[in-house]
Structure 1
Amino acid sequence: MKNIYKIKKLHFLMVIIGLMAASCKTESVLPQKEALKDISGNWQVIKATRNGTDLTTKVDFTQFRLKFDAGNYSLLNKLPFLVEKDGAFALDDPEYPYKITFTASGGQPVSTAFTYPIVNGKRQLSLSFSPGCANNTYVYVFQKVGE
């Protein structure tokens, strides 16, 4: 009878050691692939600055729209911007974009800094550019219209 208890204790001890050894395995975790940045839709300027000076209250940006759709962009109710005509756009990296390139119809490609943050739960798009004079730097912050 004592031998049966010894065998059961030994069996129980072996099971515990086996479970402990199995729980120490290193699990390889693969990094999650970042979602592609989708900027399609209509975007409206919510803030504009030139050399750090706020232009939002001085210029009516309410009608100006930047529309992205299937690799193309269009400007509605045009204001001073990086490009003057509609055309195509491309992000330098669809997962982690830092630069956007606009190619106006019949024009040369023009690239600019690009950020795509979420602010107060809403996606924004920020473009920094210097049209014409390199001494003037504009920053347009857009928010999607119709969200």
Structure 2
Amino acid sequence: MKKIYQIKALLLVMTIAVLATSCKTEKVLPQKEALKDITGSWQVIKATRNGTDLTSIIDFSAFKINFASGGYTLVNRLPFLVTQDGAFALDDPEYPYKITFTAAGKTPVATAFTYPIVNGQRQLSLTFSPGCTNNSYVYVLQKVN
């Protein structure tokens, strides 16, 4: 009987020793998210208005938005959030949810903004209503190489 208690005590000591040495607290520092860089030329690959696909109806191939160091230029303008070239800003460079366009001499206009990777390609998705609030457009853009 005494031997059983000794074995149990030995097992308890060994268990405590193993747990004490294996439970080290590691300090995990959060990783800094890379800043979202949208510089370059972007073209529309999909466009919808009120859920209706416009891509097969309208030729968007000539329309481009060029982003460079805080500014943008529009090439072959189509219905869009702004009608003139100007400046842009992201609400948060690491986790952007909104982009603000400020056309030269105009009031800033902000819109919903997503920046997903789809099939290995970075895309921009802009949701906006130019003029009439009953019409909601979604432009999905992809960077032109």
Given the two structures, how large is their TM-score scaled by the length of structure 1?
0.85
In 2, the alpha carbon distance for the partners of 1:24 and 1:39 equals 44
Could you tell me how far 1:25 is from its partner in structure 2? 1.4
Aligned length, in residue pairs: 131
What's the counterpart of residue 128 of structure 2? 129
Q: Structure 2 stretches of 5 or more lacking a match?
A: 1-16
Please provide the CA RMSD for this pair.
Answer: 1.5
What's the counterpart of residue 74 of structure 2? 75
Q: Does 1:36 align with 2:35?
A: yes
In 1, the alpha carbon distance for the partners of 2:72 and 2:52 equals 27
Could you tell me how far 1:21 is from its partner in structure 2? 3.8
What's the counterpart of residue 27 of structure 1? 26
Q: Does 1:57 align with 2:56?
A: yes
In 1, the alpha carbon distance for the partners of 2:41 and 2:142 equals 8
In 1, the alpha carbon distance for the partners of 2:22 and 2:113 equals 46
What's the counterpart of residue 48 of structure 1? 47
What's the counterpart of residue 144 of structure 1? 143
In 2, the alpha carbon distance for the partners of 1:25 and 1:136 equals 57
Could you tell me how far 1:20 is from its partner in structure 2? 6.3
In 2, the alpha carbon distance for the partners of 1:71 and 1:90 equals 6
| CA-to-aligned-CA distance 1:14-59 (integer Å, 9 cap, x gap) | xxx5x86443210010110111100000000000000000000111
In 2, the alpha carbon distance for the partners of 1:47 and 1:60 equals 10
After TM superposition, where is structure 1 displaced by more than 4 Å over at least 4 residues in a row?
none
Question: How many percent identity over aligned positions?
Answer: 74
Given the two structures, how large is their TM-score scaled by the length of structure 2?
0.86
